[in-house]
Structure 1
C-alpha cells in the first residue's frame, strides 16, 4: 500500500538526515510516527507525499496520499482553494455554470460536479462556517488553517492520509472532531504527533531514530511501557558495564603490583647470587617484557569495556540524563495573588465575553484557562500579567515576579547565542563553568554554545528557557504557559512536565492537551464563554 525501501535524505549542504529507512504500511493501518525533534519525521511524510525526493532508495504508494502539513504560517499567501488544490476545478465549474462549456473546463472538472457541495459539507463538519474559497489563509487563525487542511480529507476522499501534528492549534471541540475521525475512518493513516491522547487512538507506533525505524505493536501507552522496560534494561546494562570497568581496572592494578613485587624480589635474589652483568640485563629485559605484556592484555580488556560503555551511554535517552532543580517560590501557599471583579475585555468597543469575569488566584494553585479558539484566553493572560487593562471592572495583582512563556518563546532573544542567553539569566553570578554544566544538563553541548538562538527549534527554545530559570537565583511567583506543548516533541514535553512538577509556585496554563494537563495535576479551570 505504502512503503519506503532503503530511503535516505540529505540536506542541500549534504548533511545526511537519515539513511537506509525501510517502512511498510498496509491498507487500513493506523500508524503513529514518533521521534525526537530533528529526527526527520516531517521530511519522511513529505517524501511519502511526493513533495520531496529521496537521496537514495525507493518510495511507492498504491494511490496518491493526501497530506495535511504542520502549520507555521507558510501558506498565508495562498487562497483556501489553492491550499486545498481545488482552485482549477472550482474555476472550471464556475465557468461551465456561466455557459463556458469548453473541453478544457470539462477536462479540469473531470465529472466532479459535487465538488462545491463537498466543500460546504466539509467546512460545516469542521465547524468552519461558510468560508469564501478565494479568501487568503493569512486571515484565518492557526486552528482554522489546520481545519481547512483537515476538511480537505472529505473533499478529496483519499485512501491514504498523512497527518503532521494535526491537533496543533485546535481547541477542545476541534480535537474532539479529529479524534472521532481517527477512530472511525477506514483510511490508511500515518500520523506524526506529540498529542498523546491522539497517539493512543492509533494501532501501531513507529519510532524514527538514528537506528532507523523501530516498530512497536500497540498504541502510545503500550510503546511507553515497552520503552520503560528497554530503558530499565539499558540502565542495568550500563551499571553492570560500569562495574565491570571498575573491576577490570582494579585487576589491572593488582596484576601490575604483583608483577612489580615479583620483579623486585627476583632482582634482589639475582644480586645476592652475584650473577654477571650481562645475565642481569637479560633477566631485567625479560621482566620488563613480562610487565609490558600484562599491561597490553589488561589495556585491551579495559578498552573493550570502555567502548561498550560509550555505546550504551549513547543509547540512554537524553531526557534521562537531565536533572532539573527549581528553587521554590518564596510566597506562602494560599496568598491571594490576583483578584478580578467583573472584568471585561473588548476590541473596537465590543465586549469579548458574554458575562464579565470574577475570580481569584492564590499562591501555589495550578489553573488551566479553557475556551474555544477566539474566546480570549491569551487576552485574559495579558490582563492577569498587567500588559493589558480591562475596559471595565477591576483587577488587582500582587505578583512580584512572573514568567510568561508564550507560543513564540519571546523570552529568548534571537540576537544572542545560547551561552549569552544563559548568562543573561545568571543573576546569582554563577561561575562560567557552572553555567556551562547547566547547559550540558539541558542537552546543549559545547559545540552548540555559540549557536544563535534564532536557529533553535521550538523544543530547543523551551529547553533553553527552562535551563535559564534554573540558572536564575529565584523561581518566579507565577509561571504562565500559553499552549506550551505546541511544536514540542514527546521528549521535550516530558522534560517540560518534569520541570513543571518540580515547581512549587503558581501555575497558569492555556492548553487543550488533556494528557499534559492530567500529568501536571491541574486543580482548577477558568472557563471562557463567548
Structure 2
C-alpha cells in the first residue's frame, strides 16, 4: 500500500530532519507512530500523504491516503461540505436537481446520488447535526473543525487513514467516538497521538527517533515495557562505566604515586654515586618522559571511558532534571481562595448555564473543570482569575497570585529570545551564569539561548515556561492549566506531570485526558 525506500528529508534551510528511512505499510496495518517533539512525525505523515517530497529516496503509494492534519487554520476558507471532500459532488447534485444536466456534472457526481444524506448523517454522528454544509469553517471552534474532518472518513470510506493528533480539541464525548472509530477500523491506519487510550487500540508501535524508525512488534503497553527494559539496561551500563571511570582514576593516582616514590629513590642513589652531571640530566629527562608517557596512557584510557559516560548520560530520560524546584506557596493548606454562590454569566437574554454554580476552591486543591466543547470552561477560568465578573450570583476571592498556562503557553513573550525570557523572570537573585545553568537543566544549551521564543515547538515552550517558573523561585499560589497537553508528545506530558506533582499550591486543570488528570491526583471538580 505504501513503501519508503532510503528516504531522506531536509528542511528548506537544508537541515536534515531524518535520513535513510525504510518501512512499509500494508493493507490492514494499524500503526501507532511515536516519537519526541521535533523528531518529524507530522512531516513524515505529510510525506506519506504526498504533501511533501523527499530530498532523496522513493515513496511508492497504491492510492493517496486520507490525511487529517493536526491544525486546520489553513482550511478556514472552505465550507463544511468542501472540508468533507464532497464539494464537487454536492455542487453537481444541486445543479442536476435544478435541471442543469451536463456530462461534466454527471461525471462529477459519479452516480453518488446519496452524497448529501451521507454528509448529514456523518455530521450528525459527530454531534454536528445542526451545522449546514455551506457553513464556513472559520466560524467553527477547534473541536467542531476536528469533528468535521473526522466525519469526512464516513463520507469517503478511504482504504488508508493518516491521523495526526486527532484527539486534540475533542471533549470526552468526541474522544469516545474517536476511540470507537479507531478500534473498529479494519483498513490501513497510521496514528500520531500522545493519548495512551488511543495508542492502546493499535497492535504495532513505530518509533521515529535519531536512529530512524524502530518497529516494536506489540501494542503500546508492550512498547512501554520494552522502553523500561532499555532504560534499565542503560542505567546499568552507565553505572558500570562510572565505576570503571572511578577505578581508572584510582589506578592512575596509585601508579603516579608509585612512580614518584621510585623516581625519588632513584634520585637519592644517583646523588650518592658521584654520577657525572650530564648523565644525571639524561636520567632525569628519561624519568620525566616516562612520567609524561604514563600520564598520557592513563589520560587516553580515562578520556575514552569519560566520553562513553557522557554519551550514556545524554540518553537518560529528561524528567528527573526538570523538577519544579520552587519555594512552597505561602498560603496555608485549606484556606478558602474562592467562594462562589449561584454563579452565572449572561449573554444577551440567555445565561451560559441553566443553573448557577456554587463551589469553593481551597489552597492546595487539585481541581478539574469538566464539560463538553462549548460548556463554558474558558469562561469559568476567566471568572476564577478575576478577568470577568459574574452576571448573576456572588463570588468572593481571597488575595492570591495565579499563573495561567494554556495549550499555546502564551504566558511567554514570543518577541523575546530564550535567554531574554529567562532574564525577564529573574528577580535579580541569580547571576548570568546561574540563569544559563537553569536553562541547561531544562535542555536549552548555548545554541538555543538566542532563539526567538515564538519559534519553539510546543514541548520546548512548555519546558521554557517551567524553567522561568523555576528561576522565579517563589511559587505562584495557583496554577491554571488549560488543555496543556494538546501540543505535547508523551515524553513532554510526563515532564509536565512530574513538574506539577512537585508543586504544592492550588492546581486547576481543564483537560479531556483522563490519564493526565489521574496522574496529577485531581481530587475535586467543577462539572459544567
Query: What is residue 124 of structure 1 aligned with on the other side?
Result: 124
SS in 2 for 1:19: strand
SS in 2 for 1:168: coil
The within-5 A match list for 1:61-80 is 61-80=61-80
Contact 2:196 2:220 in 1 (8 A): yes
Contact 1:334 1:363 in 2 (8 A): yes
Q: Distance in 1 between matches of 2:169 and 2:59?
A: 31
SS in 2 for 1:525: strand
1:299-358 deviation line (CA, Å, top 9, x unaligned): 221222122223212322233433331322122222111111111112223111111111
Kindly state the Cα deviation for residue 421 of structure 1 after the two structures are TM-superposed.
1.7
Query: What is residue 484 of structure 1 aligned with on the other side?
Result: 484
Contact 2:76 2:138 in 1 (8 A): yes
Kindly state the Cα deviation for residue 379 of structure 1 after the two structures are TM-superposed.
0.3
Query: What is residue 464 of structure 1 aligned with on the other side?
Result: 464
Q: Distance in 2 between matches of 1:316 and 1:419?
A: 25
Contact 1:7 1:56 in 2 (8 A): yes
Unaligned residue ranges in structure 2 (runs of 5+): none
Query: What is residue 444 of structure 1 aligned with on the other side?
Result: 444
Kindly state the Cα deviation for residue 130 of structure 1 after the two structures are TM-superposed.
4.0
Mean Cα displacement is larger for which, 81-90 or 460-469?
81-90
The within-5 A match list for 1:359-378 is 359-378=359-378
Contact 1:428 1:471 in 2 (8 A): no
Q: Distance in 2 between matches of 1:361 and 1:278?
A: 89
Kindly state the Cα deviation for residue 286 of structure 1 after the two structures are TM-superposed.
3.6
Contact 1:485 1:493 in 2 (8 A): yes
The within-5 A match list for 1:27-106 is 27-106=27-106
1:115-158 deviation line (CA, Å, top 9, x unaligned): 22221121111111143333221110000101111111111111
Mean Cα displacement is larger for which, 193-202 or 279-288?
279-288
Query: What is residue 406 of structure 1 aligned with on the other side?
Result: 406
Query: What is residue 183 of structure 1 aligned with on the other side?
Result: 183
Contact 1:428 1:473 in 2 (8 A): no
Q: Distance in 2 between matches of 1:421 and 1:44?
A: 32
Contact 2:322 2:499 in 1 (8 A): no
Contact 2:511 2:517 in 1 (8 A): yes
| Residues paired across the two proteins, number | 528
SS in 2 for 1:302: helix
Query: What is residue 115 of structure 1 aligned with on the other side?
Result: 115
1:252-285 deviation line (CA, Å, top 9, x unaligned): 2322332233233223323333334454444344
Q: Distance in 2 between matches of 1:429 and 1:249?
A: 37
2:13 is equivalent to residue 6 of structure 1:
no
SS in 2 for 1:32: strand
Q: Distance in 2 between matches of 1:476 and 1:393?
A: 27
Contact 1:245 1:305 in 2 (8 A): yes
Query: What is residue 240 of structure 2 aligned with on the other side?
Result: 240
Q: Distance in 1 between matches of 2:181 and 2:432?
A: 52
SS in 2 for 1:446: coil
Q: Distance in 1 between matches of 2:116 and 2:264?
A: 98
Q: Distance in 2 between matches of 1:290 and 1:448?
A: 45
For normalisation by structure 2, the TM-score amounts to: 0.95
Q: Distance in 1 between matches of 2:55 and 2:239?
A: 40
SS in 1 for 2:36: coil
Kindly state the Cα deviation for residue 428 of structure 1 after the two structures are TM-superposed.
5.9
Contact 2:414 2:452 in 1 (8 A): yes
Query: What is residue 324 of structure 1 aligned with on the other side?
Result: 324
1:468-501 deviation line (CA, Å, top 9, x unaligned): 2222242122111111111111121111101111
Query: What is residue 174 of structure 1 aligned with on the other side?
Result: 174
Kindly state the Cα deviation for residue 372 of structure 1 after the two structures are TM-superposed.
0.9
For normalisation by structure 1, the TM-score amounts to: 0.95
The within-5 A match list for 1:474-513 is 474-513=474-513
Query: What is residue 262 of structure 1 aligned with on the other side?
Result: 262
The within-5 A match list for 1:327-406 is 327-406=327-406
1:374-394 deviation line (CA, Å, top 9, x unaligned): 010110111111110111111
Contact 1:66 1:160 in 2 (8 A): yes
2:350 is equivalent to residue 314 of structure 1:
no
The within-5 A match list for 1:156-305 is 156-305=156-305
Kindly state the Cα deviation for residue 517 of structure 1 after the two structures are TM-superposed.
0.5
Query: What is residue 22 of structure 1 aligned with on the other side?
Result: 22
Contact 1:418 1:449 in 2 (8 A): yes
SS in 2 for 1:508: strand
Contact 1:338 1:399 in 2 (8 A): no
Q: Distance in 1 between matches of 2:231 and 2:253?
A: 33
Unaligned residue ranges in structure 1 (runs of 5+): none
Kindly state the Cα deviation for residue 14 of structure 1 after the two structures are TM-superposed.
0.3
1:47-104 deviation line (CA, Å, top 9, x unaligned): 0011111111221233321101002523222222333333222222222222333222
Contact 2:248 2:302 in 1 (8 A): yes
Contact 2:319 2:498 in 1 (8 A): no
Q: Distance in 2 between matches of 1:43 and 1:495?
A: 24
1:443-462 deviation line (CA, Å, top 9, x unaligned): 11122122211212222222
